[in-house]
Amino acid sequence: MNFQLDEDQIAFRDLAREFLEKEAVPHRAEWDRKESIDTAILPKMGNLGFFGMGIPEEYGGIEGDQITYCIGMEELGRADSSLRGVVSVSNGLVARSILLHGTEEQKHQWLPGLTAGTQIGCFGLTEPGTGSDAGALTTRARRDGDDFVIDGAKVFITNGTWADVCLLFARTGGPGPKGITAFLVPTDSPGFVATTIHGKLGLRGQATSELSLSGVRVPASAVLGEEGRGFSIAMSSLDKGRISVAAGCVGIVQACLEASVAYAGEREQFGRPLATFQLVQDMIAEMSVDADAARMLTWRAADLVEHHLPYGTAASKAKYFASEAAVRAGNHAIQVFGGYGYIDEYPVQKFLRDARVMTLYEGTSQIQKLLIGRAETGVSAFI
C-alpha cells in the first residue's frame, strides 16, 4: 500500500480537524461533566460528511475509501472519543450493514437520514448475560403471521437513547449462531424502551443505554439480510468496526503525544523545561512510536478491506495494539503532566478514561489475542 495520503485525503483531514478544533475541543470537558455531548453538533457533522463516509452518493453519502474513513475516525478520536463512538456505530456498524445487506427499500428508508446525521443508528447485540459470547444471545423474535414479535434486553448500547433505528439481533431459531436474525427496528416502536446508563468511567459524552423490548412488533420486511444470517452480519460488521476503534485509538495516542509535547515545552522544573529531562523524553518517544505503529497496523487492515482481501486477523491486530497503546499513552501523558494531569482542567485524564474501554468493546483484548492465535496456529482455543 501507499503510505502517502492523496490530495483529497489531506483535504478531508484538514477540514475535519479544523471543524473539530472549533466545534468539539472547546466543549469536550463540559460534555464529559454533563455526561452528554450537545447533539446539535451531529447534523453539522453530517453536513461535513462524517456520517456519509463509505456510503454512495445516491443514498446521501460521500463515498470515500477505507483510509479516508480511518482518517476521519482518527480525527474524531483526537478531538473527543465520544463523538467517534457515535459516528462509528451509526455509520460504520449500522449504515454500512444496511448498505451491504439491505433491500433497496431499506436503503432508501434509512440511509439518507443516517448519512445526514439527522437520524442515528444503534447496534443491538450485547446482552446482560452475553458479551463476548454473542452466539448465545437470548433476545427472541417469534413469527406471528406477517410480523415478528421481539422480547428481550440489550445492554451497553452506544447511541441507544438517541437512535432512530436499532440494528437488533434476536433469536428466531434454535441455539447457537445459526439461530440468530438481524432486524431493523424503529426505536419509536411500542414496547421498545431505552434507558441511559450513567456513571461511566469514560466516553461519558456519548449515550450508552440499556434496551428493553417487550412485545415489539415489526414486519417481516424489517429483517436485514436473510433469516438466520444475523450472526454472520454481526461478526462481519464488528471486524470492520474494530478498524474504526483502532483508528480512534490512534487519535487518542496522537492527542496524548501532542498534549505532552506542548506541556513539556512550557512547564519548568528545577529551572528548566520538562522536555529536557531524559525520562520525560522516554515517555514521549514511546507515545510517538506507538502512534506510528498503531496507525500503520490500522491502515494495513483498511487497505485489505479496500482491496477485497481477508482482513479479519489484521483488524484484530490493529484493534488490540491500538487500544492497548491508547491506554499506555494516557498513562504516560498523565505522568508527564504530573498532578495537573489528574484534574479535568487538562484533557489527558479524559484521554486515559476514554481509552480504557477500547480494550473491552467490539471484542476485548483477550478475544483479539485468541483470534490472532487461531489464525497463526489453525487451532481454536475457544473450546
Query: How buried is 345 (Cβ within 10 angstroms: 0-12 exposed, 13-18 middle, 19+ buried)?
Result: exposed
> What CA–CA distance (Å, rounded) separates 323 from 320?
6
**Residue 25 or residue 382, greater confidence:** 25
Top-tier CATH class for 123-227:
mainly beta
The residues spanned by each domain of the chain are: 7-120, 123-227, 231-377
**Amino acid sitting at position 134:** A
Average per-residue pLDDT for the chain: 94
Cβ contacts of 300 within 8 Å, gap of 6 or more: 1, 314, 318
pLDDT in tens, 232-281: 999 888 888 899 999 999 999 999 999 999 999 999 889 999 999 999 99
Distances (CA, A) of 206 to 48, 80, 115, 281, 286: 20, 10, 18, 34, 29
Among residues 145, 167, 164, which one has the least CA distance to residue 231?
A: 167
Taking each helix axis as running N to C, give the angle between helix 66-79 and helix 230-266, from 0 to 180 degrees, rounded to the nearest 10.
50
Contact 40, 18 (CB under 8 A): no
What are φ and ψ of residue 132, in 5° steps?
Answer: -65, -25
Active site residues: 362
Q: Coil, strand, or helix at residue 13?
A: helix
The neighbour count for residue 105, using CB atoms within 10 Å, is 9
Q: How far apart are CA 111 and CA 88, in angstroms?
A: 15
Rounded Cα–Cα distance for residues 332 and 260 (Å): 9
Q: Which residues contact 19 (CB under 8 A, 6 or more apart)?
A: 44, 45, 48
Confidence class of residue 382 from pLDDT cuts 50, 70 and 90? low
Confidence of residue 316 (pLDDT cuts 50, 70, 90): very high
High-pLDDT (> 90) share of the chain, %? 88
Q: What are phi and psi of 362, to 5 degrees?
A: 55, 35
Give the residue from 315, 334, 324 showing the smallest Cα distance to 290: 324
Question: Given 2.40.50.180, 1.20.140.10, 1.10.150.80, 3.40.50.620, which CATH number is that of 231-377?
Answer: 1.20.140.10
> Which pLDDT tens digit goes with each residue over 336-351?
999 999 999 999 999 9
Q: Look at domain 7-120 and name its CATH class.
A: mainly alpha
Pairing of strands 180-186, 192-196: unpaired
pLDDT in tens, 63-97: 889 999 999 999 999 999 999 999 999 999 999 99
Give CA–CA dist 84/51, Å, rounded. Answer: 10
